[in-house]
Amino acid sequence: MPIQYEYMEPEMVLCMKLKVPVVLAEEEAQVVVDTTTHLPELAKKVDHIDGKVQDLEAEPVFIHEHIGRWQVVIPKEWNHHFKHITGAVSVVKKVLVQGVLHKQIYYVNKEDDVKHFQEEVPFSKVVELKTPQPVLDEDNVVVQFPKPKFDITWELIRGSRLQQTGVIIVRLKIVEERQIYVQLCPSPEVCPPGNLLEDPGLEQWVGNVPVFWGATANVGPTSVAHGGGQGAELGITNPTQEAAIFQTVRNTQAIAPGRVYKLTFWARENVTAAPVSNFTLTAEVRFFNRTGQQLDGVSQSWNSTAIPDNSYQQFSVNTPAAPAGTASALVRLTFSPGTNNTNTVKIDDVTFECTGGF
């Protein structure tokens, strides 16, 4: 499956509304936390201090100003989202960051025992955005931050007073979740499975018309079909006149540019009294865009001598890759009689499937 591919579709497309995170700004905040702590007892030294930042929170601070002042900083791709705003717009200019620096202090007392105690130091910081950003909805703005970094240095004074300086570095990402419409492309999977035709066995009829197929005059059902059931007989009314059945496949998930298709069907010649076998059977696959313009296609013909008159035989046609802009495919089987022809052709079990591509 390709990671990225081009989809050439300038016509009508299927779209879906999604909510996506839009990054408004990225900032880095540095907070210095100075503390002086008295140890529970006299100590020879401080061995080490472990720490972690807990309960980290960030709250965006908004102001409200006329939209006209902020048009110049609205990215081009979002310009039309702000067109409906005629008065004040919410603008995020600052972010209030707060949290707790949790420390585990390990020291060595006079008896050379390693002891420890914990300390929690709250901190806060107001971060000014380099470029304030207008937003569509304050309630959809959140602040994300990865795991913060920190460093702690210390000095033990007179055995019990511990002077500490902690430096905390927090990276902020201010994000607004916005709703946008995206175009849904056909799946880049090589092929959808199965037969793409409706009623491929030509079982459903209303009079002399197959329900899921188009048909010209001179077509009718036949009970002598491949594998039982019904099929279609071409030339059934007048074997000296042309007849055809056809079906258009418009499933955009099945018919797409770059795919290769195969048409297969079963056929037999129906021999009448005083037979004259003089006809051609043509199988076609044509590709069209959304406006009905034919883009490409393939056809193959068999004369009457190639079609058995006593049993069904399978025939097939392979297509080239569907061209860019393909939106539908037409499958057509045409019976074309010659001079004095008396015989007809019976068709059954038609298959149109994707065999590869991309």
DSSP 88-130: EEEEEEEEEEEEEEEEEEEEEETTS-EEEEEEEEEEEEEEEEE
Q: What integer pLDDT is reported at residue 51 of this predicted model?
A: 87
pLDDT tens per residue, range 102-145 = 999 998 988 888 988 899 899 988 988 888 888 888 899 999 88
Low-confidence ranges of the chain (pLDDT < 70): 1-13, 72, 185-190, 358
Residue 228 Rama label (left phi>0; alpha psi -120 to 50; beta): left
Cα angle at 319 between 313 and 324, to 5 degrees? 155
Q: Residue 179 to residues 41, 78, 110, 196: CA-CA distances in angstroms?
A: 59, 11, 64, 35
Cα–Cα nearest to 17, from 74, 86, 91, 81: 81
Sort strands 294-303 and 279-288 into parallel, antiparallel or unpaired.
Answer: antiparallel
Cα–Cα nearest to 326, from 278, 292, 283: 292
Residue type, 287: F
Q: What integer pLDDT is reported at residue 338 of this predicted model?
A: 93
φ/ψ of residue 306, rounded to 5: -90, -10
φ/ψ of residue 224, rounded to 5: -90, 85
Could you tell me where in the chain the CATH 2.60.120.260 domains are found? 205-357
The pTM for the full model equals 0.54
Could you tell me the fold of the domain covering 205-357?
Jelly Rolls (2.60.120)
With 0-12 CB in 10 A as exposed, 13-18 as middle and 19+ as buried, what is 232?
Answer: buried
Residue 202 Rama label (left phi>0; alpha psi -120 to 50; beta): left
Cα–Cα nearest to 49, from 157, 169, 155: 155
Distance CA 188, CA 22 (A): 26
Distance CA 240, CA 236 (A): 10
Reported residue count of the chain is: 358
Cα–Cα nearest to 266, from 230, 320, 294: 230
Burial 6-44 (b: 16+ CB within 10 A, else e): eeebeeeeeeeeeeeebebbebebebebeeebebeeebe
φ/ψ of residue 275, rounded to 5: -70, 140
With 0-12 CB in 10 A as exposed, 13-18 as middle and 19+ as buried, what is 72?
Answer: exposed
Query: For residue 218, what are the contacts with CB-CB under 8 A and spacing of at least 6?
Result: 234, 235, 236, 237, 238, 241, 242, 243, 335
Q: What integer pLDDT is reported at residue 1 of this predicted model?
A: 44
CA 25 distance to own-chain centroid: 27
Distance CA 110, CA 228 (A): 101
Q: Residue 98 to residues 57, 163, 315: CA-CA distances in angstroms?
A: 5, 22, 75
Residue with tokens 């004369």: 303
pLDDT tens per residue, range 181-208 = 887 766 666 688 889 999 999 999 998 9
